[in-house]
Amino acid sequence: MADRSEAAESLFPPYAPTLPALLAQALTDFRDQEFLIGADRRLTYRQADDESARVALGLLALGVGKGTRVGIMMPNSPDWVICFLAVARIGALAVPISTLYQAPELAWVLAHADVQILLMVDRYLNHDYVERLQAIPGFPDQQSPELVLRRLPFLRRVVVWGTAEQPWAQRGPDFLVSRGLSDTRFDREFLDSVEATVAPADDLMIIYTSGSTVEPKAVVHTHAAAIRLSYALQASGWGDVRLGDRLYSTAPFFWVGGHNSYLLPALFTGACLVLPTSPDLDDVLDACEREQVTIVLAGMPQLKALGERAASRGVRTRFRTLQDQVDANGAPIPHELVPNVLGMTETFGPHGLERRGTRLPPEKAGAFGRSLPGLERKVVDPTTGEECGPGESGELYVRGYSVMRGFYKRLPEETFQADGYYATGDRCRIDADGFLYFEGRFGEMIKTSGANVSPREVEVALEREVAIREAAVFGVPDPGRGEAVVAVVVPMTGASIDRDQLLDRLKDQLSHYKVPRFVFTMDYDDIPRTNTSKVRKQMLRDLVIDRWEQLTGPAH
């Protein structure tokens, strides 16, 4: 096992943890290296610095300053990165907005975040964002770029990359760049002075979680939290990004995974981001081939789908993934002996992990990594509030440098414990060696015939099957057992699943009470999902219960 004695400071960058300082360091180290490759343009680190500086000066000329809330609604693209860098380097507060939002969701987030300026594309895929804004009450009545909306009282301007004929829309980035150039007081020297005021404790972004049953929570992260955690993932040996790498990620920039494993690691290492025109598998494969992508960052379902499409096209993939691991001797590590990683938006990603290439001892199969230095974790009995002993199950609490500053518009005492810990809602246990075992979310645990079943444990076993792209497991009412374990699986394209054979194989991997009583198959697009493609389990469970109740006989 890896030595955990190193101090947290050894995992921190050797410069101030702010975006301006990180960008300046990247410009010094990787000036003429390629940084961004989009559908129609390529930018080096120097060019990205120049473009983001021009946009930043335009924002300053508009009156944007420290803490101004700037929404960014764009797909992963060079434009998104340029806008984010421009906002962050002047100390404004970035609000990444999901490109999947419909008009009511968009209106809610713009209002909740008190967005003052919105930077957006006109459309993406089949989404027309101008039309969605026009559907928000008050927008059709706006006859000037200077907005006054009762529903969105702080929103003053909308800058659109693309085409928008509405009188409220201003064209970006031309409008911002010309605004900065027209006032000679706002020059690079002025920008330097602004960047010097940005402090590690300043708020960097608001990330909205993909709540499955309630409205999303607005997680506020500082510059220091985002940069230190993302840097630590690389310095700890978990990340695998190197100079010269070309990265593609399925994680959108409106989610923390787009930052802690994609955008920020590139800035640390001089890697290049490859940004395909769409998430269509053929577009992704075309970009991976054309740009010789070396790392693909994606979840197992996406990797399986990408591998399947590559095989159907006769394409040999040459990229690395975080899932593919070998030990120090070059031997592949079985999936069950690769340490898992647990994290959340509130901690800007993983709060515990092991170095890549770590092979777990057989007795720790399925374990998650130990806590990162500088982060503290404990398991608490939800009934008594007392800390649990080694191996005892309870709710996971976390505190440390990567934990969010708080939820936007919520008081600290509503969010944190008196000693500063954040209660995660994850049901876990931590053994005597510090390894964490994730058992599910509170409320998701299945109680069947008096025994607790962790849905995630069963899902992992199912997703090891080559024919299964994704699995979701939950409990449904059962008069004899209290709850019955039921699974929904998404087959790989063209794959057929023999339920009886599948269940027989699971019996060799899981205790009998954990094996699903029945397995339903569904298409990927038929499963209810959040805006970040996570399964809405409660909604899926409601859909399945009707089908479950139609099943009769002892086989169910």
Q: Quick check: is 457 in a domain? A: yes
C-alpha distance from residue 293 to each of 13, 74, 101, 323, 532 (Å)? 26, 23, 30, 16, 24
Q: Quick check: is 211 in a domain? A: no
Distance of CA 188 to the CA centre of its chain: 33
Q: Within this chain, do residues 19 and 123 fall inside the same structural domain, yes or no?
A: yes
Which tokens hold the place of 184? 């000679």
Which residue, 271, 290, 313, sits at the end of a domain? 313
297 in Cβ contact with 322 (< 8 Å): yes
Q: Quick check: is 391 in a domain? A: no
* pLDDT, one tens digit for every residue, the chain (556 residues): 445 545 667 789 999 999 999 999 999 999 999 999 998 899 999 999 999 999 999 999 999 999 999 999 999 999 999 999 999 999 999 999 999 888 888 999 999 999 999 999 999 999 999 999 999 999 999 999 999 999 999 999 999 999 999 999 999 899 999 988 888 899 999 999 999 999 999 999 999 986 433 467 899 999 999 999 999 999 988 888 999 999 999 989 998 999 999 999 999 999 999 999 999 999 999 999 999 999 999 877 788 888 888 888 887 777 887 767 888 788 888 888 889 888 999 999 999 989 888 999 999 988 998 999 999 999 999 999 999 999 999 999 999 999 999 999 999 999 999 999 999 988 899 999 999 998 877 777 787 876 668 788 889 889 889 899 999 999 888 776 778 899 999 999 888 899 999 999 998 778 777 899 999 999 998 998 876 677 888 889 888 887 776 663 333 3
Count of domains for the chain = 3
Q: Longest C-alpha distance within the chain, in Å? A: 80
Cα–Cα distance for residue pair 85/259, rounded to 1 Å:
12
Q: Quick check: is 326 in a domain? A: no
Q: Identify the CATH number of the domain in which residue 149 sits.
A: 3.40.50.980
Q: Within this chain, do residues 193 and 251 fall inside the same structural domain, yes or no?
A: no
Continuous segment of H or E residues that includes residue 208: strand 203-208
Cα–Cα distance for residue pair 188/358, rounded to 1 Å:
47
Q: Quick check: is 383 in a domain? A: no
Q: Within this chain, do residues 194 and 242 fall inside the same structural domain, yes or no?
A: no
| pTM for the model | 0.83
Q: Quick check: is 408 in a domain? A: no
Which residue, 146, 179, 198, sits at the end of a domain? 198
Q: Within this chain, do residues 286 and 168 fall inside the same structural domain, yes or no?
A: no
Q: Within this chain, do residues 105 and 245 fall inside the same structural domain, yes or no?
A: no
Q: Within this chain, do residues 297 and 155 fall inside the same structural domain, yes or no?
A: no
- Transcribe 495-522 into DSSP letters: ----HHHHHHHHHTTS-GGGS-SEEEE-
The parent domain of residue 139 ranges over 15-198
- 14 secondary structure, DSSP code: S
Q: Quick check: is 276 in a domain? A: yes
Which residue, 313, 347, 366, sits at the end of a domain? 313
**Cα dihedral value 424, 425, 429, 433, nearest 10:** -10
Q: Quick check: is 138 in a domain? A: yes
Cα–Cα distance for residue pair 259/533, rounded to 1 Å:
17
Q: Identify the CATH number of the domain in which residue 515 sits.
A: 3.30.300.30
Q: Within this chain, do residues 300 and 246 fall inside the same structural domain, yes or no?
A: yes
- Transcribe 142-202 into DSSP letters: --SSS---SSSTT--EEEEES---STTEEETTHHHHHHHHH-TTSSHHHHHHHHTT--TTS
